[in-house]
Structure 1
Amino acid sequence: MKKDVSHTIQRAQRFPVILIGEGLLVGAAAGLVVMFYRIALTFAAEWLNRIVTAIKGDLFKTAVWFVILLVMALIVGRLVKWEPMISGSGIPQVEGEVLGKLKENWKRVLPAKFLGGFLCLLGGLSLGREGPSIQLGAMSGQGVSRILDRGKTEERYLMTCGASAGLAAAFHAPLAGMMFSLEEIHKGFSVSLLMSVMTASVTADYIASHIMGIDPVFQFELEHVLPQDYYWILVILGAVLGVMGALYNKVMLLAQDLYKKPEFLGVTGRIVIAFMAAGVMAVLFPCVLGSGGDLITDLTGGEFVLGTVILIFAVKFLFSAVSFGSGAPGGIFFPLLILGAFIGAAFAMTGVELFGLDPVYINNFVLLSMAGYFTAIVRAPITGIILLFEMSGSVSQMLSLAVVSVTAYITATLLKSEPIYESLLGRILDSGGKKKSEVRAGGQKVLSEFVIMGGSVLEDRTVMEINWPNNCLLVSLERDGKEMIPRGKTRLKAGDRLTVMTDERDAGYIHDKMENLCYTSF
């Protein structure tokens, strides 16, 4: 079917109804894929624990395990070479495609990411399931779109739905999945998109929780709500998390650079190093292997003293950099939450000595620090707050979560630390991903929505006064819930929602130009 201008506009007019039904379909598909991925990783974690126990003190079994790790590394390296878009988290790739800057092939990404992520977690790399789950969900959305022969505008909505469903199914966090997909992936909001994303997220969560259970990911008790007398400490904690988040971003990007300096290593060589490092950790420091969920149980159970907390944090931090910097398929989402928890525990234990903090609140600081650290690194504060109360099952910490997250956000921003996923996307584009996208792009028409911010270039100016980007058509304007056809003398106001049309090959360029017009004052 030809996706011309009239077809695209007519189809968009029915989006509020169409997308709800398609969101249900995408949520079911993504929920099933991610549920099977979670089951596979559960087996991987169990097998890894048995292997670590079996090789302890046995030189021959240890040598055999290193050989197995080498074989797995070679397989993962071949997978990454076969489909480069599975490298790393997968979230930047999804974001890039939704913005029209990258191209992925769901038929290749789905099997390669699934197997690659499984092998990396089986090998013990310090990576998480959330990034791959989001990419697997988004590719499920793309697959549904391609099977149903939908246009590019609709496909991007369905990929956003799939990303939301992927996070919801991975963490039993439907609200966080919905918010993350809007705040970080799509970077936009509309009623039709919200309803479809919500439908997909809830559907995927229902499917996954029906099989995996409804228990929250982090199961530890918060016996007391932190008194407001301690809130001044939260500001200090937020500042510390902002600094540590900026450091995390810098180290992760530096790790990628260090891996790439010896050009002879290549893709496979870098992944081999990460797997060999995992083998060393299995012998010397096995508690840092994998995503680290068991560490939270021990930490909140009072198993560690301050020195142990600092040591585990330092080793886990460096091992995460070695794992992620290699380009192996796996996320940073869950490991960074673990690191945030250890920062919070160390801070609270120190606070007990310096500030007279009551030890019963240490677990509160563990939870709060996960949200603040996530916010400082990803720069998605609303998602961080919602995610942590869903993952912990506790809604009593909302105000303190907000205080820590906002302070961490401000601190990281003042330090001029770019959000990690934007930095990673920029590197993918700089390495040739953008050229690849432009070559493969077709001529379908794409609709994009933007909201005019107060004080921006567009506010209080007429349509004819604006120097609009080339190959961009302003097709509609929504104000106070009413849609109108913009004319040359139409005066734009803050809060107006603009819908623009462009060719698929120009979508990424137009997105950046329109963001500058709508969100900046120069």
Structure 2
Amino acid sequence: MKRTIPFYIKYNFIRFINRFFTRKSSALLIWLSVFIGSLAGATSAFFDHGIIWVGEWRTELVASYSETSIPLWLIAMPISSIMVGIAFYITHRFAPEAGGSGIPEIEGAMEGMRPVRWKRVLPVKFIGGLLTLGGGMALGREGPSVQLGANIGRMISDVFKVNKEDSQALLAAGATAGLAAAFNAPLAGIMFVIEEMRSQFKYSLTSTKSVFVSAVMATMVMRSLSSQDAVVEVTRYAHPDLMSLWLYLVLGFCFGVVGIFFNKMILSTLDIYLQIHKGRRWRFVSIGLFLGAVFGALTVVQPDIAFGGLELIPRIEGGQYLAGGLFIIFIFRVLTTLLSFSSGAPGGVFAPTLAIGTVFGMLFGVGAHTLFPEIVTEPGTFAIAGMGGLFAATVRAPITGILLVIEMTSNYEMILPLIVTCLGATMVAQTLGGRPIYTQLLERTMMLSMRQKREEKTRKTMNRLSDREQE
């Protein structure tokens, strides 16, 4: 007589097997996140050390001509021009998606709209970023770190052949690790993915844990290879006077307006560059050669308006500049940031934005101290609040901005003014119809990609018709 297994036994057995493999898959994802965070942290640390080494090498090479009659800025021009020109060439030739910050590319990849060609992007972004940032362009290292981390996440996904959903989680984990390591700010890295990439990130307990684990590992590895100190060394302020909080709200409102115009200027400058090079490689590289020469000269003549700007923040906050000098630095830093970021050079806009916000905040603080000396005793507090204000207005990620500034400067007592400033900036930007800069950049990239495909299709059609007519 044939015996049959009772239904409830089969049901419980299948349920046990499903749970086992589900847990196994979740555990594997967490362990892969540990690996990705460690790799991204090490890559970010080496990238940071590489930028310093390239910058010092360039400075020493320029300084070796100090005893000659040739001006040093004239010596710096061809050196930086060649460095930046090479970065532009390898970007356009091998991985155009490595241009800019790379964050819109990652958001597009998380939505399944953009491919992640990590075999090309990893070397191009790393080398190109070293050359542009080491050459003195007004770019930050956080964009490359985020894109490098995300591509490491996709590389691990491909190696271990994880499914599509888990691959998306590891991509987000890599991006988180990149930002956390770049700024020594694990909480800001986690919040950036949750807040900025909220429409692309598929929330689940496992994916969220992956993001947390990768941020922690990246920060630990970065600190072991670099330093545990805050990225920006500034004054540690006490709680500002409660009666002065309304001034931080006004500062936030100002940033809301400035942020909208700043985003529009970025998009307009992108269009101007596109009209100049029209996608042709020799024109694109020529722009890089020209910009490299300009920024090479600026690194000698006026370094305050070159480089990423993080090294400028302590001097601004420390009160080393008068109001007139702050205004001039503000105007020219906006100009150099637009010229650098919109050109398509490998580099981010976080650091330049933080620097610009610091300058504007310090200007506001000097004015507030003059008008209300009884409640504003430290103008530098407005500089700290300004770091997060412009970031919140342009990226529209206020919580990320608050955490980023607190972790970067270790100014935990400034949390209330930062909240007021960042929320005020976000409210005004949203009320006036402003949109997040990375969302606009992604839409622009997709629109240009579709236009190129249509033009390519039209060209092929015209060629076929021409061939038929000849026949």
Q: Which residue of 2 aligns with 1:31?
A: 41
Q: Write the distance in 1 (CA, Å) between the matches of 2:162 and 2:260.
A: 40
Change (3 A) 1:11 1:313: farther
- Give the counterpart letter for 2:222 in structure 1: A
- Give the counterpart letter for 2:37 in structure 1: G
Identify, as 1 or 2, the structure richer in strand: 1
Secondary structure of the 1:195 match is helix
Q: Write the distance in 2 (CA, Å) between the matches of 1:256 and 1:12.
A: 46
Residues 89-98 or 27-36, more deviating: 27-36
- Give the counterpart letter for 1:245 in structure 2: G
Secondary structure of the 1:330 match is coil
Q: Write the distance in 2 (CA, Å) between the matches of 1:67 and 1:182.
A: 43
Q: Which residue of 1 aligns with 2:122?
A: 110
Q: Which residue of 2 aligns with 1:456?
A: none
Which residue of 272, 293, 297 corresponds with 1:258?
A: 272
Q: Write the distance in 2 (CA, Å) between the matches of 1:97 and 1:243.
A: 31
Q: Which residue of 2 aligns with 1:143?
A: 155
Q: Which residue of 2 aligns with 1:230?
A: 244
Counterpart contact for 1:55–1:62, Cα < 8 Å: no
Counterpart contact for 1:126–1:319, Cα < 8 Å: yes
Secondary structure of the 1:327 match is coil
Q: How does 1:299-318 map to 2 (within 5 A)?
A: 299-318=316-335
Q: Which residue of 2 aligns with 1:461?
A: none
Residues 426-435 or 24-33, more deviating: 426-435
- Give the counterpart letter for 2:108 in structure 1: G
Counterpart contact for 2:77–2:294, Cα < 8 Å: no
Identify, as 1 or 2, the structure richer in helix: 2
Q: Which residue of 2 aligns with 1:381?
A: 398
Q: Which residue of 2 aligns with 1:156?
A: 168
Q: Which residue of 2 aligns with 1:59?
A: 70
Is 1:191 aligned with 2:191? no
1:415-462 CA-to-partner distances (Å, cap 9, x unmatched) read 2121111111111111117988xxxxxxxxxxxxxxxxxxxxxxxxxx
Counterpart contact for 2:109–2:115, Cα < 8 Å: yes
Q: Write the distance in 2 (CA, Å) between the matches of 1:58 and 1:23.
A: 55
- Give the counterpart letter for 1:242 in structure 2: G
Which residue of 216, 230, 245 corresponds with 2:230?
A: 216
Q: Which residue of 1 aligns with 2:102?
A: 90
Which residue of 165, 168, 171 corresponds with 2:183?
A: 171
Change (3 A) 1:360 1:85: same
Is 1:421 aligned with 2:438? yes
Q: Which residue of 2 aligns with 1:468?
A: none
Change (3 A) 1:410 1:349: same
1:228-252 CA-to-partner distances (Å, cap 9, x unmatched) read 1011111110101111111111111
- Give the counterpart letter for 1:59 in structure 2: I
Q: CA deviation at 1:358?
A: 5.3
Q: Write the distance in 2 (CA, Å) between the matches of 1:396 and 1:322.
A: 36
Q: Which residue of 2 aligns with 1:279?
A: 296
Q: Write the distance in 2 (CA, Å) between the matches of 1:223 and 1:318.
A: 31
Q: Write the distance in 1 (CA, Å) between the matches of 2:158 and 2:173.
A: 15
Is 1:71 aligned with 2:49? no
> Structure 1 length as normaliser, TM-score?
0.78
Secondary structure of the 2:379 match is helix
Q: Please, which runs of 5 or more residues in structure 2 have no aligned partner?
A: 1-17, 454-471
- Percent sequence identity is 33
Residues 300-309 or 332-341, more deviating: 300-309
- Give the counterpart letter for 2:241 in structure 1: P
Change (3 A) 1:233 1:253: same
1:2-23 CA-to-partner distances (Å, cap 9, x unmatched) read xxxxxx9997776543322121
Q: Write the distance in 1 (CA, Å) between the matches of 2:118 and 2:149.
A: 10
Q: How does 1:478-493 map to 2 (within 5 A)?
A: none
Counterpart contact for 1:98–1:186, Cα < 8 Å: no
Q: Which residue of 2 aligns with 1:398?
A: 415
Q: Write the distance in 1 (CA, Å) between the matches of 2:256 and 2:176.
A: 26
Q: Which residue of 1 aligns with 2:380?
A: 363
- Give the counterpart letter for 1:42 in structure 2: I
Counterpart contact for 2:360–2:383, Cα < 8 Å: yes
Change (3 A) 1:185 1:12: farther
Secondary structure of the 2:307 match is coil
Counterpart contact for 1:80–1:267, Cα < 8 Å: no
Change (3 A) 1:434 1:61: same
Residues 416-425 or 112-121, more deviating: 416-425
Which residue of 54, 77, 80 corresponds with 1:44?
A: 54
Q: CA deviation at 1:60?
A: 5.8
Q: CA deviation at 1:176?
A: 0.7
Change (3 A) 1:402 1:62: closer
Q: Which residue of 2 aligns with 1:22?
A: 32
Secondary structure of the 2:412 match is coil
Q: How does 1:285-364 map to 2 (within 5 A)?
A: 285-356=302-373, 360-364=377-381
Q: Write the distance in 2 (CA, Å) between the matches of 1:350 and 1:87.
A: 39
Q: CA deviation at 1:372?
A: 1.3
Q: Write the distance in 2 (CA, Å) between the matches of 1:181 and 1:434.
A: 29
Counterpart contact for 2:238–2:413, Cα < 8 Å: no
1:71-99 CA-to-partner distances (Å, cap 9, x unmatched) read 22331122112111101001111111011
Say which structure, 1 or 2, has more relative contact order (CA 8 Å, 6+ apart).
2
Q: CA deviation at 1:157?
A: 0.7
Q: Write the distance in 2 (CA, Å) between the matches of 1:19 and 1:247.
A: 42
Residues 176-185 or 101-110, more deviating: 176-185
Q: Please, which runs of 5 or more residues in structure 1 have no aligned partner?
A: 1-7, 437-522
Q: Which residue of 2 aligns with 1:445?
A: none
Q: Which residue of 2 aligns with 1:474?
A: none
Secondary structure of the 1:217 match is coil
Secondary structure of the 1:361 match is coil
Q: Write the distance in 2 (CA, Å) between the matches of 1:431 and 1:11.
A: 43
Counterpart contact for 1:160–1:186, Cα < 8 Å: no
Q: Write the distance in 2 (CA, Å) between the matches of 1:373 and 1:61.
A: 35
- Give the counterpart letter for 1:214 in structure 2: Q
Counterpart contact for 1:54–1:61, Cα < 8 Å: no
